Amino acid sequence: MRKTKIICTLGPATESAEVLHAMIHAGANIFRLNMSHAPHDWVRVIVPRIRAIAKELGVMVGILMDTQGPAIRTGDLPTKLDLKVGDIFEFTVRGTQSEEHYSVPVNYDGLIDDISVGDVVLVDNGNIHMKVLNKKGNRIRCEVLTSGTMGSRRHINLPGVKVNLPPLTEKDLADVAVGAEMQVDYVALSFCREPSDVEELRRVLRSHDSTARIVAKIEDQLAVKNINEIIETTDVVMVARGDLGIECPMEDLPIIQRKIVKRCLMKGVPVIVATHMLESMIANPVPTRAEITDVANAVFEQADAIMLSGETTVGKYPVKCVEVMHKVATRIERSGGAGYGEEAMLEDDRQKTVRSAVSLANSLPDSKLVVFTRRGTMADYVSNLRPNAPIYAFAPNYEVCRKLIVNWGTYPHYLPFDANPGRTIGSAIQTLVEAKLTKKGDHLVIVSDMLAGEERFDTIQVRVVG
């Protein structure tokens, strides 16, 4: 069974019931809604569609809403601009008119205050480089360093520049409200820069009575600088390599990815590796060898999940992409992993109890870990230690089950808990046997509670099926 989870972004190529059905069969675990492009009416249609198909197939499927975030973009241009090295280009704010031949307005008025002479400006995913020469009024005068064609509404990156944008825009707030209404399982915070950004989103979610897990997207140098504090605050981390690869030196990107994955495993926070994993398969039925190696590296590092973006929104082979990821991940998992989970920090008695259960399961042949959890915490602890055995997590709440889908090696199941823990364990074992997830002779290492008078205690049990 594959332990690394697969996240697929939905779009025109994958929104139909038929394709969703095929993607789940191929191995999709979580569907991502990119709110940079998704209207609210579409969200209200697609979420029930996903839930209905998952129910029909009898599987747990998660839904991740990804906010657009406070992106800095150029304005509209009547025609595209062909820029050459040495050209002078101006960015303008607050409706100011430029006196230069090449210019474009910017959607962020504070850019004039945040940027400094000598700073580098990257436009259109880093394809066009410019250097700030001077600032005059509401105009930023730059020299073009790399030639390229600039179109309308291009994304601007400012490596090393701290911008004073709010963590959530008005659009983000409206999108989160719809996500809470539709009970999405995860909400991603784009361009998360510091712990207070996560706390602001958590406050907004609570105001909507949403318990969605927060995914902090690491996309710039400031986020990398504050990574330890962000990990302490968020529920999940995403290494969003698109903007991150523009904001940071490209040769540092693999090191940053490894550092973040390792730190997340040490602190017990699920981590997602995203962007450009099978980019060539947007147009081609077969990935490049480099892409296969990239996916393999993320799986070897034992990231909780790997993500597809354009490959499954507008690509020609969305189901094939899922199949490729499933095949590569399954094969690499059999060859072993980086072992970062062995360095996990155990801060309380419950975590140490879980460590004992994992050690016991690793020592037994044909073992399975069975975890009973009301809020998902114990299942989080078990997954973070990256055991050899699969983790079957039973919870009495569908929302908790879906929030555990992102966890490495974890397969959540809904099960109402009996007042007597023994009867609950019996029901869970029966569920696993009927689903052919365990068989006679298997060792089940069970993490649950037990009754002693009126008190409950965490326990570890070993049972042999049959």
Q: Are residues 123 and 247 in the same domain?
A: no
Can you give the CATH number for the domain in which 241 is found? 3.20.20.60
Amino acid at 231: I
C-alpha separations of 156 from 72, 252, 260 in Å:
5, 20, 24
pLDDT of residue 457: 80
Question: Which DSSP category does 101 fall into?
Answer: S
Radius of gyration of the chain (CA): 24
User: Would you tell me how many other CB atoms lie within 10 Å of the CB of residue 334?
Assistant: 7
d(CA 402, CA 417): 17
Task: Report how many domains make up the chain.
Answer: 3
d(CA 258, CA 260): 6
d(CA 65, CA 46): 12
Q: What is the pLDDT along the chain (466 residues), one digit of tens a residue?
A: 899 999 999 999 999 999 999 999 999 999 999 999 999 999 999 999 999 999 999 999 999 999 999 989 999 999 999 999 999 999 999 999 998 999 999 999 999 999 999 999 999 989 999 999 999 989 999 999 999 999 999 999 999 898 999 999 999 999 999 999 999 999 999 999 999 999 999 999 999 999 999 999 999 999 999 999 999 999 999 999 999 999 999 999 999 999 999 999 999 999 999 999 999 999 999 999 999 999 999 999 999 999 999 999 999 999 999 999 999 999 999 999 999 999 999 988 999 999 999 999 999 999 999 999 999 999 999 999 999 999 999 999 999 999 999 999 999 999 999 888 889 999 999 999 999 999 999 999 999 876 666 777 889 999 999 8
Q: What is the pLDDT of residues 16-44, one digit of tens each?
A: 999 999 999 999 999 999 999 999 999 99
In total, the chain counts a number of residues equal to: 466
From 268, 302, 332, give the residue that closes a domain: 332
Instruction: Enumerate the active-site residues.
Output: 32, 73, 217, 275
Q: Are residues 305 and 379 in the same domain?
A: no
From 117, 137, 157, give the residue that closes a domain: 157
Q: Are residues 133 and 263 in the same domain?
A: no
Q: Are residues 176 and 151 in the same domain?
A: no
Q: What is the pLDDT of residues 151-174, one digit of tens each?
A: 999 999 999 898 999 999 999 999
C-alpha separations of 456 from 243, 373, 445, 453 in Å:
48, 13, 19, 8
Q: What is the pLDDT of residues 312-339, one digit of tens each?
A: 999 999 999 999 999 999 999 999 999 9
d(CA 243, CA 246): 5
d(CA 258, CA 294): 12
Q: Are residues 174 and 271 in the same domain?
A: yes
pLDDT of residue 451: 62
b or e along 197-209 (b: 16 or more beta carbons within 10 Å of the residue's beta carbon)?
Answer: bbeebbebbeeee
As a dihedral over the C-alpha atoms of residue 215, residue 276, residue 80, residue 34, rounded to 10 degrees, the angle is -30
Can you give the CATH number for the domain in which 393 is found? 3.40.1380.20
Cβ neighbours of residue 18 under 8 Å, at least 6 residues apart? none
From 332, 363, 398, give the residue that closes a domain: 332
pLDDT of residue 449: 73
Q: Are residues 103 and 151 in the same domain?
A: yes
Q: Are 357 and 350 in contact (CB under 8 A)?
A: no
Q: Are residues 191 and 278 in the same domain?
A: yes
Q: Are residues 311 and 454 in the same domain?
A: no
Kindly state the tokens that stand for 451: 């009754």
d(CA 247, CA 253): 10
Can you give the CATH number for the domain in which 140 is found? 2.40.33.10
Q: Are residues 134 and 38 in the same domain?
A: no
Domain around 116: 81-157
d(CA 264, CA 235): 10
Task: Answer yes or no: is 282 within a domain.
Answer: yes
Beta bridge partner(s), residue 188: 66, 215
pTM here?
A: 0.95
Q: Report the Cα–Cα distance between both ends of the chain, in Å, rounded.
A: 22
